[in-house]
Structure 1
Amino acid sequence: MTKKKIRESQRAWGDGIIAIGQAYIARKDYKALATEFIQKHYGYQEGIVLFKPTLASVEQFRETFEKALSYFVSGNPNHPEDQGFAIKPWVSVKFENAGIIIIKNHAVAMGNYFFTDTEGNVVKVEYTFGYFVAPNGYIKINLHHSSLPYSN
């Protein structure tokens, strides 16, 4: 686990969010892509994932794969508040880490990430991600908390 690997994982996560939205617009199988995205980036297969998405207020925490998928692509009647965060679509995702803490095979990163939509609007989101090295050697997320910045 290194800071460089965390930054690479963050770039891949952002690229994955963009790819899901592009697949949605192109009428391709965006749900399959989102499934692969979650399996690649989140540790649901390995254990507990603490996921608090940005745009969730009724069902704030997504402790299962099914709930995470619903947040990213919507369409699940069990989770009616989900609008499909990844199918917005976004054209750019940029991470700015305030800091990264590494302890053996685990890391925590905190900062802001910026999502740019197709009209050039940028949304600033605060995040904390926890990472671990999965048995297959990939860096996966087991903690994801994000929220919009406080405003008066």
Structure 2
Amino acid sequence: MIPITEDDVNAVQQAWCDALIRIGAVHAEGGDFRAVASALIDDLYDYAEGTVFFKPTLAFGKNAFRSTKQGALSYFVAGDPDFPEDKGFALNHWVKVWYDNNAAENGIQIHGNIAITMGNVYAQSASGGEIMVDKTFVFRRCADGRLRLCAHKSAPPYSPDN
């Protein structure tokens, strides 16, 4: 098995950020954003080989956790009657998405074929709006040698005023 490096982890986190931008751009251009999102989920999430624990930022209620690719796809691009509350997070037309791993010195832990990150993801929309979410990503080295998410938890930052 190929050892996981911090560079590997940073590359896949950047790929996730780039995927969010790509889905929104294809949607804004009138392209097949659903096919793009599906392919990007296959590239970045371990639904094909394993079990994925996914709690998206804005998911709630009975569909808060997305253990299937169908649920993940709906969260990112909406349109699935099994997930009627989804608005399509990736369709916000994010033009800049970046992350930091700030839970420790470098925010990355590597344990064999698993890597864990914790920090924030930031996204800026085409209209200039910006969000920040707390995130924890867990990546697994898959049979094809690629790192994919096997756990993804994101949430708005805690505010004592809420």
Aligned residues: 152
Q: CA deviation at 1:119?
A: 2.0
Q: For 1:52 and 1:63, locate their aligned partners in 2 and report how far apart those are by CA, in whole Å.
A: 9
Q: For 2:76 and 2:86, locate their aligned partners in 1 and report how far apart those are by CA, in whole Å.
A: 8
Match of 2:79 in 1: 75
2:109 equivalent to 1:101: yes
Q: Deviations over 1:112-140 (max 9, x none)?
A: 11011112221010000000111111110
Partner of 2:35, secondary structure, is helix
Once the two structures are superposed, the pairs formed by residues 55-94 of structure 1 within 5 Å of their partners are 55-58=58-61, 59-94=63-98
Match of 2:33 in 1: 30
2:140 equivalent to 1:136: no
Match of 2:129 in 1: 121
Q: For 1:6 and 1:91, locate their aligned partners in 2 and report how far apart those are by CA, in whole Å.
A: 22
In structure 1, list runs of 5 or more residues that go unmatched. none
Q: For 2:123 and 2:25, locate their aligned partners in 1 and report how far apart those are by CA, in whole Å.
A: 14
Q: Deviations over 1:82-141 (max 9, x none)?
A: 000011110011111011100111110000110111122210100000001111111100
Q: TM (normalized to structure 2)? A: 0.92
Q: Deviations over 1:46-93 (max 9, x none)?
A: 110000000011211000010100000000111011000011110011
Q: TM (normalized to structure 1)? A: 0.98
Q: RMSD value over aligned CA atoms?
A: 0.7
Match of 2:10 in 1: 7
Q: Which structure 1 residue ranges, 4+ long, deviate > 2 Å from structure 2?
A: none
Q: For 2:93 and 2:71, locate their aligned partners in 1 and report how far apart those are by CA, in whole Å.
A: 20
In structure 2, list runs of 5 or more residues that go unmatched. none
Residue among 135, 138, 155 paired with 1:147: 155
Q: For 1:121 and 1:72, locate their aligned partners in 2 and report how far apart those are by CA, in whole Å.
A: 18
Q: For 1:78 and 1:123, locate their aligned partners in 2 and report how far apart those are by CA, in whole Å.
A: 27
